[in-house]
A = this chain, B = another copy of it.
Amino acid sequence: MTTAARPMRADARRNYERLLAVARDAITEHGAEVSLDDIARRAHVGPGTLYRHFPNRDALLAAVLADWAEELRRQGDELVADPDPAGALDRWLHLLLGHLGTYRGLAAAILASAGDDESALGHACQPMHDTGRTLVDRARTAGTVRSELTAADVHRMVHGIALITENLPDRAAAADRMLTVLVAGLRPPPDAAAGH
């Protein structure tokens, strides 16, 4: 569902598609905070046309990320079906961190929109958050995640790692080191292992 199902005038549809393609390129090149004016200019439409199709930056991001979110949801479903709670969660966090590295500024945008029902981006990322909740809750029940942690805590920390590594020259390696720390730290301390 890359495009809306509702019929659209031919020129409007062309503008919509062009804006989406241009936005994807612009965000790839300059990050999620790229100038909306710039996108409109590059798509050869007035700023008003961009706003007609995408009432705010979040809506545009949500549209650009539709396939991105769908792919993450699909892979998340597979992990939810995986019988190993600890392994599935670890793989999910790796997957999530990798996906968050797709565009600069992405982790910050998603973090800011999380839980905001008004935000199109928050809505687009709901399946992702649901997957995380399922996997964290299951791992906590299985005793491989500290009891005091919420799923939101864990997701937020992965977003944090994406945030603080996105401008590093050795981005991927640094992110891996930090995710290893996070994953190790999630485990309950040894003396509490039998408490559940």
- Name the prevailing secondary structure of the A interface residues: helix
Task: Please tell me which one of the listed residues B164, B183, B189 contacts residue A160 in the complex, with CB atoms under 8 A apart.
Answer: B164
Find out whether the CB atom of A156 lies under 8 angstroms from the CB atom of B164. Answer: yes
Minimal Cβ-Cβ distance residue in B for A155: B164
Find out whether the CB atom of B177 lies under 8 angstroms from the CB atom of A184. Answer: no
Which bucket holds chain A's interface residue count?
20 to 34
Instruction: Tell yes or no: A163 within 8 A of B by CB.
Output: yes
Instruction: Tell yes or no: A26 within 8 A of B by CB.
Output: no
| A-B CB contact pairs (8 Å), 14 listed | A111-B164, A148-B180, A149-B177, A153-B177, A153-B178, A156-B164, A156-B174, A156-B178, A157-B160, A157-B178, A160-B161, A181-B185, A182-B182, A184-B185
- Residues of chain A in range 140-163 having any CB-CB distance to chain B below 8 Å: 146, 148-149, 153, 156-157, 159-161, 163
Instruction: Tell yes or no: A72 within 8 A of B by CB.
Output: no
Residues on B with beta carbons closer than 8 Å to the beta carbon of A69: none
How many copies the complex holds: the figure is 2
Instruction: Tell yes or no: A186 within 8 A of B by CB.
Output: yes
Task: Please tell me which one of the listed residues B111, B149, B185, B186 contacts residue A183 in the complex, with CB atoms under 8 A apart.
Answer: B185
Task: Please tell me which one of the listed residues B157, B177, B186 contacts residue A161 in the complex, with CB atoms under 8 A apart.
Answer: B157
Instruction: Encode contact with B along A160-196: 1 for CB under 8 Å, 0 otherwise.
Output: 1101110000000010011011111111010000000
Residues on B with beta carbons closer than 8 Å to the beta carbon of A189: 184
CA distance A30 to B187 in the complex (A): 37
